[in-house]
Amino acid sequence: MARVVLLVDEMFEDSEFQVPYDRVRRAGHEASIVGLAAGKQLAGRRSRPTS
């Protein structure tokens, strides 16, 4: 199992985040979401917050 980091920032396209995130998890890897500022909650263009 690998650890994969997904880097996101303001106004990312939801599907461009969600599809790779889901595929990484489905493959059995650990997915970590990292933003550019610590403690800042991010939401995509469709306003779905990251988990």
- So what's the pLDDT on residue 20? 94
pLDDT per residue of the chain (51 residues) written in tens, 0 to 9: 899 999 988 878 888 899 999 999 999 999 999 888 888 888 888 765 555
What distance separates the 2 farthest-apart alpha carbons in the chain? 31
The model carries a pTM of 0.74
11-47: string of b/e by CB count within 10 Å (b at 16+)? ebeeeebeeebeebeeeeeebeeebeeeeeebebeee
